[in-house]
Amino acid sequence: MGTLLMSIAGSLPMMMLLDIGSARADLCSPTASEPAGTFGGIAYVEHRGFFCMPGARRASCATLRACESLVPYRIIAPDERWSANGATVVEAPHFFSGADGWLLGKDLILGRHFVHAAVGWSTFGNSLLDPAAPGVHVRGATPCADGACAPVSDPRILVAFADALHRDPHALALIGYGAARRYLVGTSQSSEAVLAVIDDGGAEGVFDLALPITTSAMDPQPALAAGRFSGRVIVVNSESDDDAATARGMRDDGTARRRYRYYVVPGTPHILDVLEDPFDAGHLTTPAEYRSELRARFWQGHRWVTEGRAPPPSTRLFADVSGVPLRDASGNTSAVDVDGRAVPRPPYIELGEARFTTFNTDVPLPPLFHPMLGAALDVVSFPDADAYRRDFIAATAAYRDAVGLLAEDARALVRRAVLCRGLSFTQTYYARHDEFAAMRSCDPRRR
């Protein structure tokens, strides 16, 4: 979406005027609302405004200077608010991608009629959602214009914001009861905020589901076992993140299995090629991705909350007695569930199309990024295109059934494997990346 909030210089007086008489409101009236597209036959609207976190003195949208924290928010909700499915995804913005990462996909979140909401919680880059907005601050700290000052973070803002979505009159006017259930999502750096509010008990009674993604910040199982959070927690990790996460005890140890799942996707790096953006850090690094499985786990988490249907068992990398992951003939890791049963892998890994690493030292980026970016090395060819197609379809079906892939994601895997006759899924990714990203046939006659 580009910049999340447009410059609103001069709009604060208008916002204050709109909120006169609502002195106790925490979620201020939107400063801007605009169409956000149609998904699943329903028109969505994006609302942008400010959230006031009260301090020791009672503050509100009518007394902005007294707010301990004044941060931007963004809510994307059905234009007809009663069309929402009753659950809101609250995203903790990431310092780099803000709340525009959309790892879960608009087709899933908006297409299945969730509300999507995000709020600034840290002065670290785009974790503030819109660092350029006038007057914003977190616990009195303003954004660092030159990056020289230490960022200030307050994960409590996420909790207060989510609570306001369910009770604040301005929120109810925007989304009705679309936040009857609230799901907290954070990726990488922003997952730390998710885990922090679980650990300190702040999330209790506010969130029904938490989804920390590509994380190794802390183990949430002690908080679950101690009763500090009674919701569900699902962690989805890349292979790159799993080593540190395992070292911190995040692997499912059985102490909170009724409310906890941990999944790792073999062969995947921390930073994905999101395909839509040629300037993204992961562009043309590796086709290996955890996004398809992440989407499946999110949907399973929603059904866990709403229907009580528990997701499949947690997984871990297959390892020797010392904990070192074992590798197959192609050099790839594999996964097993908590009972040691083998779990099918993504089809391009299952067929041994390449050695999928979780790092790529050939990428011209600072060393910090090297262990986060993957590569597909020793890429192999499949001379019999028809046999390859049959094997890929069969491997996709096994993976779909094992992890519960969404039907559209399983179809996308197969579609990308057959775009260019004579090229595998992995070969097409590198040789015909534009076609791969767009799922467009390499044969013009078939487009």
The predicted pLDDT at position 59 comes to 65
Whole-Å CA distances, 331 to 13, 238, 260, 328, 352: 61, 16, 30, 5, 9
The predicted pLDDT at position 211 comes to 98
Nearest C-alpha neighbor of 80 from the set 176, 199, 16, 221? 176
Higher pLDDT, 60 or 191: 191
Model pLDDT for residues 199-225, shown as the tens digit of each residue: 999 999 999 999 999 999 999 999 999
User: Which is it for strands 335-337 and 342-343: parallel, antiparallel or unpaired?
Assistant: antiparallel
The predicted pLDDT at position 371 comes to 75
Produce one character per residue of 425-434: b if its CB has 16 or more CB atoms within 10 Å, e if not.
Answer: bbbbbeebbe
For the chain, the average pLDDT equals: 89
Kindly tell me if the per-residue pLDDT of 56 is higher than 80.
Answer: no
What is the distance between the alpha carbons of residues 272 and 316, in angstroms, rounded to a whole number?
A: 20
Cβ(357)–Cβ(325) under 8 Å?
no
Model pLDDT for residues 319-368, shown as the tens digit of each residue: 999 999 999 999 999 999 999 999 999 999 999 999 999 988 777 766 66
Once rounded to an integer, what is the mean pLDDT over residues 402-417? 98
Tell me which of 3.40.50.1820, 3.10.290.10, 2.30.30.790, 1.20.1090.10 is the CATH number of domain 12-350.
Answer: 3.40.50.1820
Compute how many other C-beta atoms are within 10 angstroms of the C-beta atom of residue 272.
Answer: 25
The predicted pLDDT at position 57 comes to 59
Residue with tokens 């083998």: 342
Within 306-435, strands assigned E span 315-317, 335-337, 342-343, 355-357, 375-377
Q: Indicate the pTM of the whole model.
A: 0.92
Kindly tell me if the per-residue pLDDT of 23 is higher than 50.
Answer: no
End-to-end CA distance of the chain: 28
Host H or E run for residue 185: strand 181-187
Once rounded to an integer, what is the mean pLDDT over residues 253-265? 97
Rounded to a whole number of angstroms, the CA Rg of the chain reads 22
Whole-Å CA distances, 162 to 23, 34, 107: 19, 22, 22
Q: What is the largest CA-CA distance in the chain?
A: 73
Model pLDDT for residues 373-397, shown as the tens digit of each residue: 999 999 999 999 999 999 999 999 9
Domain ranges of the chain: 12-350
What is the distance between the alpha carbons of residues 430 and 187, in angstroms, rounded to a whole number?
A: 26
